[in-house]
Structure 1
Amino acid sequence: MGGGRFQELRVYQLSEKLADDIWKIVHEWESLPQNTLGKQIIRSADSIGANIAEGVGRGSYQENRRFIRIARGSLYETQHWLRRAYNRNLLTDEQVKILKVIINDLAPQLNAYLNSIGKPPNNNDQ
């Protein structure tokens, strides 16, 4: 795979972890939940990292910020689907606990990344 600095971003790595963990969980579900809720949750979780990557690739601060906002929306959508899955007894308490740790780290990371885009780096030599 080609090199891109987005892969080194902690926020991107967390989005990959969340998406991969969700994939592994959904993979174990029966066909009805997989084909309905499962596909939706996988798409929304995968969309978080995809939008981070696309934003970096757009080459402008404004476009990058726009795609980070979309990624944040995908994170919220993922949380919605996780709630639906839990209420339908598709997630165990342990799975929820693991995913919650990632989400509780990822959400503020997305906001911090959004706030950092387009601002000049701190220069302590002034």
Structure 2
Amino acid sequence: MENESYVKIITEWDIVAARQLGRNVAKELGFGTVDQARITTAISELARNIYLYAGKGEMQIERINKFGKKGLKVIALDNGPGIDDIRRVMEDGFSTSGGLGAGLPGVKRLMDDFDITSSVGKGTTIQVVKWLR
């Protein structure tokens, strides 16, 4: 980890703070406005999921540099109820909140790399990366 910042997600205002942090880091890294919007949308969706389903957790935003490529990594962590059927939540249109958010499939489409691990009763960790082109 080169440089990491994080926001604890406890209230709805923390979702806004996580978005702002992500946008600032993306801008500093040199992402264009379209990719900044993709990143902040993904952060918003992940932070909202923590808020809605786990009650609390945290968002970590890291600058990464691998194989000479720069990128931004977002890690969403919680100790909530976990996801019992990851395949199901990855289906387009699946929502337990009735929301119109992009959901996890949308987050996956917005970002370049997507990884999810979840244990029922222990929580969920989602890592996404956007590479600078």
Fold shared per TM-score above 0.5: no
Structure of greater relative contact order (alpha carbons < 8 Å, 6+ residues apart): 1
Give the TM-score, by structure 1 length: 0.33
More helix as a share of residues: 1
More strand as a share of residues: 2
Give the TM-score, by structure 2 length: 0.31
